[in-house]
Amino acid sequence: MRNAARTLIGMTAAIFLLSGATSSLAQEAKGDAVEPEFDPYCMDDYARDLCDPEWWGRIVESFGIESAEAAQASGWRGVRVFTVDGYSRDMPMVSVLYTEVSQYGSPLNPRLDVRGARDGDGPAPSLSREAWFGILDETTRIAELATAAPVRQPVGGDRTLPGADDDEMIFCLHAWVSVTEILNDQGVVRRVRNACGDDPLFDAGYELSGQALRGFPVCNHLDPANYRNESAQLDRCLVLEGDDQIAAAEVLNLLDGPIFDEASSIAAYAAPGIRIAGTSGETSLSGVLGLDDARVVRIYTASVRAVGPDVRARGIVHRYGDKEGNDFVADVQQVWRKIDGAWRLVEFSLGPWEPM
């Protein structure tokens, strides 16, 4: 799990340099403007400054929640952990908060909340339930680690490789980042950590998603083989909707599975008499998707809702590279129905193609 957060995936401008070197993004003049130096202690992969109050305020607002300072002033106590993946995508926030304690100091009404960032103007997707002793113990440990930790992450951990010279430089690319907020009687403690090196606070916050995943049975109907880690599995669980979310999870297992890396795989699941609609007027899946010219076409699913006997999936189709090298996207809606014990695609509707 730890290694998953630190896997190197391609190149990026946001490079964390360990071994005491200066930032990889040195100041660069652009006309009269000067790019600020990249700060590996505060910035994620796309250089969002998580230590800057304005930047951080916008990110917190995107989750549809109040700031930690406002929540603390209202009487909330506990832990909030925000996780950012290696491409600056905000993963689900996990929090365990409470407002009352017993005479022995134990929380009386702790709540576990998992919340995703909003998509446009809609509400933030969320899961909520009472917290249990095990996850309370984990957040207590996180609070102790954060309170004792320095404000800035120390350089350390994996600074050298076996047999490496002392001055050898190590690159950590696409690092995951966490922001841990502790709401206590004294105020708010906030710590930013990344996956470069060994940091117990980052590790504890990263593993909190796995603890939270156990608390929502429907999320465990998603096949973990389809996801990089528990945070990604939680993120996909947030797209499940409707009364029968287990049915929705079964369809999402197909759509997120390896056989659906390319849209051509979906044809094997078409039911006899499938209804196909698209602006091109084509009447086959390969025709409406434009698969005949061998371009790569992929389907990305944004929501999966169980409605009666059906499961309705909504998302986009991405068609990569025409003869001029242009990419196109289109909205897509699918209807899946269980036929003879197996999920089959009974309706497929594609909107107009638009250039990226």
Choose the most confident range, by mean pLDDT, from 46-50, 66-70, 196-200, 349-353. 66-70
Whether residue 22 lies inside any domain: the answer is no
Q: What residues does 276 pair with on adjacent strands?
A: 348
Provide mean pLDDT across the span 312-340.
Answer: 91
Whether residue 294 lies inside any domain: the answer is yes
Whether residue 166 lies inside any domain: the answer is no
User: Is there a contact between 25 and 173 (Cβ–Cβ < 8 Å)?
Assistant: no
Residue 209 has which token pair?
């998603």
Summarised one tens digit per residue, pLDDT across range 223-281 is 999 999 999 999 999 999 999 999 999 999 999 998 776 777 888 899 999 999 987 77
Nearest CA to 212 among 188, 232, 193?
232
> Can you tell me the distance from the alpha carbon of 180 to that of 201, in angstroms, rounded to the nearest whole number?
8
Whether residue 49 lies inside any domain: the answer is no
> Can you tell me the distance from the alpha carbon of 282 to that of 277, in angstroms, rounded to the nearest whole number?
8
Shared domain for 226 and 262, answered yes or no, is no
Residues 6+ apart with CB under 8 A from 17: 23, 24, 40, 169, 170, 171, 172
Q: In the listed set 189, 214, 238, which residue is the last one of a domain according to the structure?
A: 238
Whether residue 267 lies inside any domain: the answer is yes
Residue 324: its pLDDT value, please? 75
Summarised one tens digit per residue, pLDDT across range 90-134 is 999 999 999 999 998 899 999 999 999 998 778 999 999 999 999
Residue 36: its pLDDT value, please? 66
Provide mean pLDDT across the span 4-11.
Answer: 34
Note the pTM of the prediction, 2 decimals: 0.85
> Can you tell me the distance from the alpha carbon of 298 to that of 208, in angstroms, rounded to the nearest whole number?
31
What number of other Cβ atoms are within 10 A of residue 235's Cβ? 24
For the chain, percent of residues with pLDDT exceeding 90: 65
Residue 222 has pLDDT above 60, yes or no: yes
Side-chain-side CA neighbours of residue 284 (13 Å):
8
Residue 242 has which token pair?
């409707």
Range of the domain at 232: 54-157+176-238
Shared domain for 196 and 301, answered yes or no, is no
Q: What CATH number should be reported for the domain holding residue 284? A: 3.10.450.50
